[in-house]
Amino acid sequence: MDAFSRSDLDLLTQQEDPPCVSLYLPTHPVRTRNQEDPIRLKNLLARAEQELVEGGTRAPQAREILRPGRELVEVEDFWLYQDSGLALYLRPGWWTRYRLPIRFDERVVVSDRFHVTPLLPMLTGQGHFFVLALSEKHARLLSCTRTGTAEVMVPGLPQGVAEALPYDEPQQVRGHHLGSRVGAKVRTIMHRQGIGAEVEKERLERYVRAVHDAVRPVLRGRHEPLVLAGVDYIRSAYRQVADYPELLRDGVAGSPDRVPDDELRARAWDAVSPVLTRQQDEAAAGYRAALGTGLASNDPEEVASAAEAGRVAVLFLSEEATADERLQPTAVQTLRTGGTVYAPADAGVPDGTGVAAVFRY
């Protein structure tokens, strides 16, 4: 997975050198199935070139705009490491791409600005969550949606106690050195007897704190649920140091080391799903309660004006409205001013319209 934050959203929405080409396609993390993915991108690029030319761009310029995408088609290593979806953005002299855990529908959009609404679930917490898989030997952070999983590259994330505390002597307890031949068996006996328990507890606390310190910058400013996967005592130790407000009480029990990422996602979904459903239900109830008070509206023009003024606290967009480029600035501005966006609203827009919003004032 590639990181995608609000700063990335700002970068995309501030590009002002049209024509802007936005390409979306589903991809396959499994290597045996992803041979079709570069072919799919090649076909989308051909469609984009046709739309550019039909829109008045000269053919040589259209080919130059799309050149980075065509070069990407030929990069074999790139296609070996895919997520559930690929988003590619190109304009004259600039391009970027994101591999994300969202299974996009194939789409080509040529416009005066980039089409970014398919990325909004990455920033709204809607259907998006994190799993921190933690053991004494390994740690990994997963970015997940209902259908996709990708490992997040976390700078400085220690892979186990030994890496986090390289200068400790874990087998030195109360002045006695335990030979490596007895290793884990003796340590298990010692643990049961209480000998060295305080030393091991202190080392574990330092390890989970090192993990937390590495993960914290990645999650800063995020609002998605975080699920812990690990044995009970490690999850308990992490909770004692964690300050992420969306850390869920329920987790995935047992060692995650040999559990595939997609299986961890599926297990974590049992804990996440009720939380996400409750959040949207509560937001919808708040909208209904605010109707008729001047603090809610389903009029697109009124909602757009309120978003521009920073007044929108919660925005609902139907699936059809999410595809409407005219409403993209409304969603983006709501996010920029700290609002919550449900786009598309999984349970539908509260009163069945395409757009609904709750205002701060």
Query: Mind spelling out the 3-state secondary structure of 303-338?
Result: HHHHHHCCCEEEEEECHHHHCCHHHHHHHHHHHHCC
The C-alpha atoms of residue 163 and residue 145 are separated, in whole angstroms, by 30
Residue 185 has pLDDT above 70, yes or no: no
The C-alpha atoms of residue 220 and residue 82 are separated, in whole angstroms, by 25
The C-alpha atoms of residue 320 and residue 304 are separated, in whole angstroms, by 16
What Cα–Cα distance (Å) separates residue 143 from each residue in 27, 133, 242, 299?
Answer: 16, 11, 18, 35
The C-alpha atoms of residue 157 and residue 138 are separated, in whole angstroms, by 9
Average pLDDT over residues 273-294: 90
- Residue 357 near residue 296, CB atoms below 8 Å: yes
**Token pair for 9:** 């959203």
pLDDT of amino acid 127? 72
- Residue 104 near residue 153, CB atoms below 8 Å: no
pLDDT tier for residue 59 given thresholds of 50, 70 and 90: very high
Helix axes 197-219, 232-241, angle to 10 degrees: 60
**Token pair for 96:** 């970027």
pLDDT tier for residue 126 given thresholds of 50, 70 and 90: low
The C-alpha atoms of residue 297 and residue 292 are separated, in whole angstroms, by 8
**Token pair for 169:** 């002597």
**Sign, Cα dihedral of 186, 228, 218, 262:** positive
Helix axes 59-73, 36-54, angle to 10 degrees: 170
Residue 163 has pLDDT above 90, yes or no: no
Task: Single out the residue of 93, 107, 115, 105 nearest to residue 48, CA to CA.
Answer: 107
What's the chain's Rg over C-alpha atoms? Answer: 24
Which residue blocks in the chain are alpha helix, DSSP H? Answer: 6-13, 36-54, 59-73, 76-80, 121-124, 161-164, 183-193, 197-219, 232-241, 261-290, 300-308, 319-322, 328-336
pLDDT of amino acid 167? 62
Residue 32 has pLDDT above 60, yes or no: no
Cβ within 8 Å of residue 31, ≥6 positions away: 80
pLDDT of amino acid 33? 57
Question: Is residue 340 helix, strand or coil?
Answer: strand
DSSP state of 119: G
Average pLDDT over residues 58-64: 97
Give 66-124 pLDDT, tens digit per residue. Answer: 999 999 999 988 888 787 899 999 999 999 999 988 888 899 999 999 999 888 877 76
Question: Is residue 265 helix, strand or coil?
Answer: helix
DSSP state of 31: G
pLDDT of amino acid 42? 95
Q: Average model confidence (pLDDT) for the chain?
A: 85
pLDDT tier for residue 172 given thresholds of 50, 70 and 90: very low
pLDDT of amino acid 162? 80
Task: Tell me how far the alpha carbon of residue 22 is from its chain's centroid.
Answer: 20
Average pLDDT over residues 288-297: 94
What predicted TM-score, i.e. pTM, was given to this entire model?
0.69
Lowest mean pLDDT, pick from 57-66, 126-135, 179-188, 303-312: 179-188
Residue 191 has pLDDT above 60, yes or no: no
Residue 223 has pLDDT above 60, yes or no: yes
Tell me which residue has tokens 């999984």: 346
The C-alpha atoms of residue 229 and residue 52 are separated, in whole angstroms, by 47
pLDDT of amino acid 157? 93
Average pLDDT over residues 246-254: 94
Tell me which residue has tokens 């802007």: 20
pLDDT tier for residue 174 given thresholds of 50, 70 and 90: very low
Average pLDDT over residues 42-68: 97
Between residues 207 and 84, the one the model is more confident about: 207
Domains of the chain: 6-119 (3.30.960), 129-170+197-274 (3.30.420.60), 291-359 (3.30.1330.30)
Task: Single out the residue of 142, 144, 173, 139 nearest to residue 159, CA to CA.
Answer: 139
pLDDT of amino acid 177? 42
Average pLDDT over residues 7-35: 83
DSSP state of 247: B
277-146-246 Cα angle (round to 5): 55
**Token pair for 189:** 């006996």
